[in-house]
């Protein structure tokens, strides 16, 4: 075995990615893994959160036993708290700015000022209208949509009161938030105030600093992200739900680099913005565009995605996903990508430095995110189909310029579209749509509990090597897994999102439920903003128990047998997501390093004392089995507290068991 082959195996178990890594190395192109190795040793002060660059007297660092304060006197707890909250603000701002763009386009569509966009889910529009206290009876759909759009846009600038979607949380959870003074007034105000408080010389009480960070995080989960998800569902259709009539069903898709097609124009959409990619999906079906591709020698157009733009498209249209975050460079290294169209978030600048070695056209589409060497084609939301056609023709024009193609064979089939509405439908049907079968099976012990597994990839860890084994261990222990983002793509590539997977890899109880309902043991719930779907689902689980005491598995989210995890996190968005889950009552485990360990006082507060306030804590784990074990232990603890039976004996995974499952 060559040293290069061994290195590829250390980077990932995914055969498609290993093949593409060899393509890149053969071309002399560096990847994120190469650059990560070049960065070693990384700065421990930064890793532990004890480096402060907030003012120009610094940068200051804390050296325990030698340098306990910065120039201004800030101690480790203050510095770590400020850095942690600024990460929350960065993540919350990313999701919420996405939500703002959706709300503005939604309003324009309702007014008829954005041709190509339309209201596709009138039922959900009325549900959201109720949340915004908008009257719906005897009113025109567009009139309702305009008022909903106006109120959604106003949520960003609101200066007082409570965000509207807070009303969806269980009553006990709302009481906890109100009692502790952390209910967000608006989206923008909480992020701006957090930045002010963490400026040099302002807030210096680590508990008070985190309190404002909690407001910013909740403004993301129950504000910006939820607005984005709900309005996108109304505009583009709710996953699993037909637009008008027809059969409700999950969406089939293929996942991994093998979805690229040697004989077709390959346009890869990458980022997080469905407003653009939805129009690309529509325009690509037009006969004029297809004929243009044939004139250039291609058999047609193949749209695929990377990251959460991929998740947005696959959950509504079944458009294949080429990979998750760390596969963006690998897609280009196949030589088959004629255009990579990028919008916002998680886009590596290294992509543009690959352009001299490959024919790929790299195109930025929004004023918010440009790259010096990429071509910029601004997406005009007032003429979305025209903009989409322009981008598609540019991709087609690049097809004849290919020099060599080396596409890995590997791809896996999967199911997506498990919005919280569709999960209710799958569990109860058209007339008894409810979460009661889920609660009932948890109470009876067939399903041990529920885990939300979300987040990114990280070059500091082998690709998907935390995600996949951990999810396999959870389902083997009868834990139903719900996923979003790059974590969901990891499981799709591993074949864990197929119904037959339940019989092959899930515990007996979970397998029985999955077979009866017709679902996989791992449910794809969407993009990273769609973590708000999980919040809604958790609230539904509590509400079912409030309506029927026989189905009660907790009066608050913190009492449910559930847990969350981000095994390979890397983004500030993950910190924002993690914190709004913890403060919503969900015990949450992150993999790898954690950016607060430089302050023992602050970390103890975050990992222990905060449970007395919100009923949940943060935690960390270094291995997949350790992470799965902590989550299962927490779920069993909650089951015991609810008096619904002792937890079953845990199935521990060793390498022989993993190999057997992969055969």
Q: Residue 465 in 3-state DSSP?
A: coil
Could you tell me which residues come within 8 angstroms of residue 90 by beta carbon, excluding any fewer than 6 positions away? 572, 573, 576
| Look-up of token digits 């897994």 | 481
> If we measure between CA atoms, which residue out of 304, 490, 405 comes closest to residue 20?
405
Q: Which two tokens stand for residue 497?
A: 């999102």
Total residues found in the chain within this entry: 663
> If we measure between CA atoms, which residue out of 459, 462, 531, 521 comes closest to residue 496?
521
- Give dist(CA 103, CA 47) in Å, integer: 36
Q: 514: annotated binding-site residue?
A: no
- Give dist(CA 221, CA 183) in Å, integer: 12
Q: 307: annotated binding-site residue?
A: no
Q: Residue 226 in 3-state DSSP?
A: helix
Helix (H) or strand (E) run with residue 303 in it: strand 301-306
- Give dist(CA 640, CA 307) in Å, integer: 38
Mark out the alpha helices in 69-220 (DSSP H runs): 76-110, 122-131, 141-157, 171-179, 187-197, 206-219
Q: Which residues pair with 478 in a beta bridge?
A: none
Q: Which residues pair with 253 in a beta bridge?
A: 414
Q: Which two tokens stand for residue 131?
A: 């949340």
Q: Nearest-5° angle of CA 404, CA 405, CA 408?
A: 155
Q: Cβ distance 285 to 385 under 8 Å?
A: no
Q: Which residues pair with 524 in a beta bridge?
A: 483
Residue 477 CB-density burial (10 A; 0-12 exposed, 13-18 middle, 19+ buried): buried
Q: Nearest-5° angle of CA 395, CA 343, CA 392?
A: 20
Using the 8-state DSSP alphabet, how is residue 60 labeled? Answer: E
- Give dist(CA 92, CA 222) in Å, integer: 11
Q: 52: annotated binding-site residue?
A: yes
Using the 8-state DSSP alphabet, how is residue 42 labeled? Answer: P
Q: Residue 661 in 3-state DSSP?
A: helix
Going across the sheet that includes 375-376, the strands are 375-376, 361-364, 339-342, 265-271, 301-306, 321-323, 251-255, 412-416
> If we measure between CA atoms, which residue out of 500, 506, 483 comes closest to residue 568?
483
- Give dist(CA 229, CA 616) in Å, integer: 25
Positive or negative, the CA dihedral 417, 420, 424, 429 is: negative
Q: How many CB atoms lie within 10 A of CB 657?
A: 15
Long-range pairs, 399-403, Cβ under 8 A, ≥24: 399/265, 399/293, 399/296, 399/297, 399/298, 399/338, 400/296, 400/297, 401/359, 402/335, 402/336, 402/338, 402/359, 403/335, 403/359
Using the 8-state DSSP alphabet, how is residue 605 labeled? Answer: I
Q: 308: annotated binding-site residue?
A: yes
Q: What is the per-residue DSSP string for 244-292?
A: SSS----EEEEESGGG--TTSEEEEEEES-HHHHHHHHHHTT-HHHHHH
What residue numbers does the annotated binding site for [Ni-4Fe-4S] cluster cover?
272, 308, 346, 456, 486, 528
Name the binding residues.
43, 51-52, 55, 60, 72, 272, 308, 346, 456, 486, 528
List binding-site positions for [4Fe-4S] cluster. 43, 51-52, 55, 60, 72
């Amino acid at each position: 075995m060559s040293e290069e082959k061994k290195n590829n195996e250390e980077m990932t178990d995914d055969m498609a990615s290993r093949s593409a890594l060899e393509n890149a190395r053969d071309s002399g192109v560096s990847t994120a893994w190469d650059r990560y190795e070049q960065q070693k040793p990384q700065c421990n002060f930064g890793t532990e959160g004890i480096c402060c660059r907030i003012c120009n007297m610094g940068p200051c660092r804390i050296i325990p036993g030698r340098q306990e304060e910065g120039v201004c006197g800030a101690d480790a707890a203050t510095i770590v708290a400020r850095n942690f909250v600024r990460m929350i603000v960065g993540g919350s701002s990313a999701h919420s700015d996405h939500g703002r763009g959706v709300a503005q386009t939604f309003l324009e569509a309702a007014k008829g000022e954005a041709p190509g966009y339309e209201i596709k889910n009138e039922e959900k529009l009325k549900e959201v209208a109720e949340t915004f206290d908008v009257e719906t009876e005897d009113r025109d759909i567009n009139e309702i949509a305009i008022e909903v759009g106006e109120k959604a846009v106003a949520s960003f600038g609101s200066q007082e009161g409570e965000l509207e979607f807070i009303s969806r949380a269980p009553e006990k959870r709302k009481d906890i938030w109100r009692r502790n003074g952390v209910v967000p007034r608006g989206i923008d105000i909480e992020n701006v105030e957090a930045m002010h408080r963490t400026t040099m010389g302002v807030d210096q009480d680590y508990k008070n600093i985190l309190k404002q960070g909690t407001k910013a995080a909740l403004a993301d989960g129950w504000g910006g992200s939820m607005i984005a998800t709900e309005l996108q569902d109304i505009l583009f259709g709710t996953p699993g739900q037909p637009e008008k009539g027809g059969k409700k069903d999950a969406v089939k898709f293929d996942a991994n680099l093998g979805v690229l097609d040697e004989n077709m124009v390959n346009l890869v959409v990458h980022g997080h913005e469905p407003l653009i990619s939805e129009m690309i999906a529509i325009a690509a079906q037009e006969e004029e565009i297809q004929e243009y591709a044939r004139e250039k020698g291609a058999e047609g157009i193949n749209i695929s995605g990377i990251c959460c733009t991929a998740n947005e498209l696959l959950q509504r249209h079944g458009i294949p996903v080429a990979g998750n975050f760390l596969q963006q460079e690998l897609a280009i290294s196949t030589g088959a990508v004629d255009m990579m169209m990028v919008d916002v978030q998680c886009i590596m600048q290294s992509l543009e430095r690959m352009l001299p070695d490959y024919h790929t056209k790299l195109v930025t589409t929004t004023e918010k995110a440009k790259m010096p060497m990429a071509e910029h084609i601004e997406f005009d939301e007032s003429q979305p189909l025209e903009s989409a056609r322009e981008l598609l023709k540019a991709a087609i024009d690049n097809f004849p310029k290919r020099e060599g193609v080396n596409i890995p064979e590997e791809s896996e089939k999967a199911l997506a579209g498990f919005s919280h509405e569709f999960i209710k439908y799958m569990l109860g049907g058209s007339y008894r749509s409810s979460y009661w079968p889920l609660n009932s099976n948890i109470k009876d012990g067939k399903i041990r509990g529920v885990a939300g597994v979300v987040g990114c990839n990280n070059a500091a860890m082998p690709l998907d090597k935390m995600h996949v084994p951990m999810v396999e261990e959870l389902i083997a222990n009868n834990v139903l897994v719900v996923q979003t983002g790059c974590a969901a793509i990891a499981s799709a590539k591993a074949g864990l999102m197929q119904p037959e997977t339940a019989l092959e890899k899930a515990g007996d109880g979970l397998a029985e439920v999955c077979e009866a309902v017709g679902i996989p043991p791992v449910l794809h719930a969407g993009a990273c903003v769609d973590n708000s779907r999980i919040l809604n689902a958790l609230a539904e689980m509590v509400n079912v128990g409030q309506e029927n005491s026989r189905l009660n598995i907790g009066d608050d989210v913190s009492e449910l047998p559930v847990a969350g995890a981000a095994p390979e996190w890397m983004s500030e968005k993950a910190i924002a997501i993690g914190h709004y889950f913890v403060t919503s009552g969900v015990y949450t485990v992150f993999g790898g390093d954690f950016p607060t360990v430089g302050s023992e006082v602050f970390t103890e507060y975050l990992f222990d004392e905060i449970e007395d306030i919100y009923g949940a804590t943060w935690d960390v784990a270094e291995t997949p089995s350790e992470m799965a074990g902590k989550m299962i232990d927490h779920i069993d603890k909650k089951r015991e507290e609810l008096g619904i039976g002792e937890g079953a004996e845990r199935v521990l995974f060793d390498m022989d068991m993993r190999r057997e499952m992969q055969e």
